[in-house]
Amino acid sequence: MRLLFIYGPPASGKLTIGRMVADRTGFALFHNHLIVDAVAAVFPFGSDNFVQLRERFWLDTISAAAHAGRSIIFTFAPEPTVAPDFPSRLYQVVEHAGGEVLSIALNVEDADQEKRLIAADRAKFGKLQSLDLLRELRPAITACMSTMPPATLRIDTGQTTPGEAAEAITQLIGSSASAR
């Protein structure tokens, strides 16, 4: 089992690239808003219940996939309501089941991020669309990004098309499999 852990700030292209990689590889796409939106329907974002349930659902789903030998793509946005040790616990769950984590860090310049943030398709999953809120949260998001585990691959999505990023990730997956 391989977990492709795609992380980056809001509007860096995680879901767009994740979909393309899923189409190319057959990996299941488990993007973070599937759980975020489900839990936020019951509990306010950031509340204790929200945080606990969101992380439990993320980890339980990924653990089940790892034990079933089902490779998946998990998109993730580091931000202050996520426990700082969440990534290490995620790695432990996968590795305990004999799986491998390939982490992909997406980066985007502020100007590109702000242009993307207001795109209509972001509303579909309740994604952040407020420029004011993004600007307020940006320092905390940047701090959270700096604590993430080392990336297997880093991609600047302002300089790389989603297709190019998906191709680089697909090649990484192939080289990782052949390196074993």
Alpha-carbon distance 143 to 54, whole Å? 21
Three-class SS string for 45-91?
A: CCCHHHHHHHHHHHHHHHHHHHHHCCCEEEEECCCCCCCCCHHHHHH
For the stretch 157-171, pLDDT in tens is 999 999 999 999 999
For the stretch 47-88, pLDDT in tens is 999 999 999 999 999 999 999 999 999 999 999 999 999 999
Q: Quote the pLDDT of residue 161.
A: 94
66 and 88 in contact (C-beta within 8 Å)?
Answer: no
